[in-house]
C-alpha cells in the first residue's frame, strides 16, 4: 500500500504525535509499504530522510497550558493538491484530522480512503475553529473520514462529542527492546542515592511544581534522595530553578531535553518514576516507557493514566495537584525496596502489550478492514446503477 501519515504538528519537534507517526512509518516501511509523512517541519529530520513531505512552516501557538507548533498559513492548498495528485495514496491517515491548518486541508482535498486518529482528551483541536463556519466545515469534512481510531477510551469519549460514529481503540506503542531493564544506569547517578525521575515537557499541566513540593516534604526524612527532571522548556525551567534555590532544596537535577536514545539511561537510573500531570492526558506514554524499564510508577489519578496503570499493581495513583498525597506515595515506595521490585516487574509485564510491533499491526489490519468495507460499499453502489437498455 501507499500510505500518507499526516501530522498537524512539527515533525521535527519532540512530542507524542510525532513519535507515534515516526514509529508507524518505521514498521510499515519495514513490512514493505511505501510510506510518506506529510507535516510542517522546522528542520530536516535525518532519521526520516526523504520520507517526509514538508508542507507549511510551523509556528508556536500557546494553548491550554501547552504550546503547539502548527502551520498557520491559509495558502497550503496548491501544495496539498500537487502532492495528492503526484503520490496517489491508497490510505491517507490523519492525526487529529480537524486540526487547522494542514490536516483539515488535506482531508478536504483527499480523494482516497481517509482514516483519522484522535489523540487528545482536552482542548478543542479544530472543533470550534472560526465558529460558526468551523462547525459547518466540521460537519462536512467528517463525512470524508472512512475510519476513526482513538488512542484510548478517554480520547474516544472526547472525540465523539464532536465526531460521531464507531471508533477503533488502538493505543500508543513503545519499543520494549529500547526501554528495557537491561540498560545500565547513568554513571553520574550511581552514588547510592534513591532517584525519583520526571520526564516531560516543562509545562504547567505536567504538574512538576507539585512533585517539587512533595520532594521538599520527604527530603527531610530521606536525605539520600535525588530528583531528576528530564524534558524541554526554558521559561518554566527558570521559574522552577528559582523555586528550588529559594527553598534551598538540594539534589534537584534539571537535565534538560534528552533525545530518544538517551531516555533509557534515565529510566534505568530511576528507583521511582513520577508523572504528576494535572489533567488532559489521553494516554500515559511515559508511564509505559518507565514500566517497560521495570520501574514502579507514581502518577496522577486521571482517566488517561488509569487506562495504563492499575493502582497498587504497577504503581500508585494519587489525586492530581495533591502534593501531600505525592509525598506519601513517594515515602511508601522509597522505603520499601521489595515493593518497588514487585511493582516494577508487574509493570514490565504489562508494558509488553504496548509493543509497537503489535500496535502497528493492529493499525495496518484496521486499514485493510476499512479498505475492504469501502470496496463493498463501492460494489453495492455500482449494483444500484440501472443497466442501460438499448433499442
Total domains, the chain = 2
pLDDT exceeds cutoff 70 at 71: yes
How far CA 101 is from CA of 4, 45, 59, 76, 358, in Å, comes to 17, 21, 11, 8, 31
CB 89 within 8 A of CB 106: no
Given pLDDT bands bounded at 50, 70 and 90, which one contains residue 214?
very high
- Give dist(CA 285, CA 308) in Å, integer: 9
Mean pLDDT computed over 116-130: 73
Q: Residue 286: which domain range?
A: 187-353
Q: Averaged over 350-366, what is the pLDDT? A: 97
Mean pLDDT lowest among 20-34, 57-71, 332-346, 358-372? 57-71
Based on the fold, state whether residues 196 and 342 are members of the same structural domain.
yes
Range with lowest mean pLDDT among 61-65, 125-129, 240-244? 125-129
**What was the pLDDT predicted at 234?**
79
What average pLDDT does the segment 97-102 reach?
A: 90
Has residue 300 got a pLDDT over 90? yes
Out of 42-51, 87-96, 310-319, pick the least confident. 42-51
Domain match, 32 and 168 both: yes
Burial class (CB in 10 A: 0-12, 13-18, 19+), 104: buried
| Average pLDDT of the residues in 327-347 | 98
306 and 280 in a common domain: yes
User: What integer is the mean pLDDT of 171-194?
Assistant: 96
Cα–Cα distance, 25 to 36 (Å, whole number): 8
Instruction: Count the residues in the chain.
Output: 391
Q: How confident is the model at residue 174 (pLDDT cuts 50, 70, 90)?
A: very high
- The answer to whether residue 135 scores a pLDDT higher than 90 is no
pLDDT at 136: 63
pLDDT bracket for residue 13 (50, 70, 90): confident
Residue 313 belongs to some domain of the structure? yes
Query: Strand 52-54 and strand 34-39: pairing?
Result: parallel
Whether residues 375 and 256 fall in one domain: no
Stretch 192-206: mean pLDDT:
95
pLDDT mean over 166-187: 96
Looking at residue 9, what is its pLDDT? 95
Residues whose CB falls within 8 Å of the CB of residue 226, separated by 6 or more in sequence, listed in order: 189, 193, 194, 195, 196, 251, 252, 253
- Considering the domain architecture, whether residues 59 and 200 belong to the same structural domain is answered as no
Q: Is residue 93 part of a domain?
A: yes
Cβ(71)–Cβ(55) under 8 Å? yes
Q: Is residue 331 part of a domain?
A: yes
pLDDT above 50 (res 194): yes
State whether 205 and 342 are in the same domain: yes
Q: Using alpha carbons, select from 203, 269, 276 the residue that is nearest to residue 233.
A: 203
Give SS3 for 230. strand
Flag the least confident range among 18-22, 77-81, 374-378: 374-378
Give the strands of the sheet with 252-256, arranged side by side: 252-256, 225-230, 194-199, 272-275, 297-300, 315-318
pTM recorded for the entire structure: 0.88
- Asked if residue 215 and residue 168 are part of one domain, the reply reads no
**pLDDT for 382 beyond 60:** no
Q: Which residues pair with 275 in a beta bridge?
A: 299
CATH code at position 122: 3.40.50.2000
pLDDT single digits (tens) 222-276: 999 999 999 988 788 999 999 999 999 999 999 999 988 999 999 999 999 999 9
Task: Give which of 280, 19, 20, 7 is closest to 124, Cα–Cα.
Answer: 280
* Averaged pLDDT for residues 99-122: 93
Q: How far apart are the C-alpha atoms of 301 and 128, rounded to whole Å?
A: 28
Taking residues 140-150, report their average pLDDT. 92
Question: Would residue 246 count as lying in a domain?
Answer: yes
CA distance 143 to 163: 9
Give the pLDDT score at 47. 76
124 — pLDDT class (breaks 50, 70, 90): low
Say whether both 195 and 104 belong to one domain.
no
Are 202 and 327 within one domain? yes
Q: Are residues 263 and 160 in the same domain?
A: no
pLDDT, position 63: 76
User: Do 165 and 202 fall within a single domain?
Assistant: no
DSSP string, 51-107: GEEE-S-EEEEEETTEEEEEE--S--HHHHHHHHHHH--SEEEEESTT-TTHHHHHH
Cβ atoms of 354 and 172 closer than 8 Å: yes
Q: Is 90 exceeded by the pLDDT of residue 17? A: yes
Q: Does residue 379 register a pLDDT over 70?
A: no
Average pLDDT score over residue span 164-189: 96
Q: What is the pLDDT of residue 130?
A: 46
Say if 178 falls within a structural domain: no
Chain mean pLDDT for the chain:
91
- Domain presence at residue 133: yes
Radius of gyration, alpha carbons of the chain? 23
Q: Within the chain, where are the H helices?
A: 16-30, 77-87, 102-109, 133-141, 153-159, 208-219, 235-246, 263-269, 285-292, 303-306, 323-334, 337-351, 356-383
pLDDT at 126 over 80: no
Question: Counting Cβ atoms within 10 Å, is residue 188 exposed (0-12), middle (13-18) or buried (19+)?
Answer: exposed
Are 56 and 163 contained in the same domain? Answer: yes
Q: What are 61's strand-pairing partners?
A: 68
**Is residue 236 in a domain?**
yes
Is residue 368 included in any domain, yes or no? yes
Mean pLDDT of 298-323: 97
Amino acid at each position: 500500500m501507499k500510505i500518507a501519515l499526516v501530522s498537524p504538528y512539527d515533525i521535527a519537534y519532540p512530542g507524542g504525535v510525532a513519535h507515534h507517526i515516526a514509529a508507524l512509518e518505521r514498521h510499515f516501511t519495514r513490512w514493505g509499504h511505501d510510506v510518506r509523512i506529510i507535516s510542517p517541519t522546522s528542520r530536516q529530520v535525518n532519521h526520516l530522510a526523504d520520507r517526509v513531505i514538508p508542507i507549511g512552516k510551523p509556528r508556536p501557538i500557546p494553548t491550554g497550558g501547552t504550546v503547539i507548533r502548527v502551520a498557520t498559513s491559509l495558502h497550503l492548498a496548491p501544495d496539498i493538491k500537487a502532492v495528492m495528485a503526484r503520490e496517489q495514496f491508497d490510505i491517507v491517515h490523519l492525526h487529529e484530522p480537524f486540526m487547522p491548518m494542514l490536516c483539515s486541508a488535506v482531508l478536504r482535498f483527499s480523494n482516497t480512503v481517509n482514516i483519522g486518529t484522535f489523540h487528545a482528551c482536552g482542548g478543542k483541536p479544530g472543533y470550534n475553529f472560526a465558529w460558526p463556519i468551523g462547525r459547518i466545515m466540521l460537519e462536512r469534512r467528517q463525512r470524508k473520514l472512512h475510519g476513526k481510531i482513538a488512542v484510548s477510551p478517554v480520547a474516544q469519549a472526547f472525540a465523539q462529542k464532536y465526531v460521531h460514529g464507531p471508533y477503533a481503540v488502538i493505543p500508543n506503542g513503545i519499543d520494549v527492546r529500547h526501554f528495557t531493564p537491561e540498560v545500565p544506569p547513568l554513571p553520574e547517578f550511581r552514588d547510592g542515592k534513591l532517584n525519583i525521575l520526571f520526564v516531560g515537557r516543562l509545562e504547567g499541566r505536567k504538574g512538576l511544581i507539585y512533585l517539587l513540593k512533595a520532594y521538599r516534604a520527604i527530603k527531610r526524612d530521606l536525605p539520600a534522595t535525588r530528583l531528576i527532571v528530564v524534558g524541554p522548556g526554558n521559561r518554566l525551567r527558570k521559574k522552577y530553578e528559582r523555586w528550588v534555590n529559594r527553598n534551598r532544596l538540594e539534589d534537584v537535577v534539571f537535565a534538560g531535553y534528552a533525545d530518544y536514545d538517551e531516555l533509557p539511561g534515565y529510566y534505568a537510573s530511576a528507583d521511582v518514576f513520577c508523572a504528576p500531570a494535572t489533567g488532559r492526558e489521553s494516554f500515559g506514554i511515559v508511564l509505559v516507557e518507565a514500566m517497560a524499564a521495570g520501574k514502579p510508577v507514581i502518577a496522577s489519578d486521571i482517566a488517561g493514566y488509569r487506562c495504563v496503570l492499575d493502582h497498587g499493581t504497577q504503581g500508585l495513583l494519587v489525586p492530581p495537584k495533591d502534593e501531600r498525597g505525592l509525598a506519601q506515595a513517594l515515602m511508601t515506595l522509597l522505603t520499601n525496596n521489595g515493593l518497588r521490585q514487585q511493582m516494577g516487574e508487574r509493570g514490565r509485564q504489562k508494558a509488553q502489550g504496548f509493543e509497537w510491533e503489535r500496535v502497528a499491526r493492529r493499525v495496518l489490519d484496521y486499514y485493510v478492514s476499512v479498505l475492504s468495507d469501502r470496496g463493498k460499499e463501492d460494489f453495492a453502489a455500482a449494483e444500484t446503477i440501472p443497466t442501460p437498455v438499448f433499442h
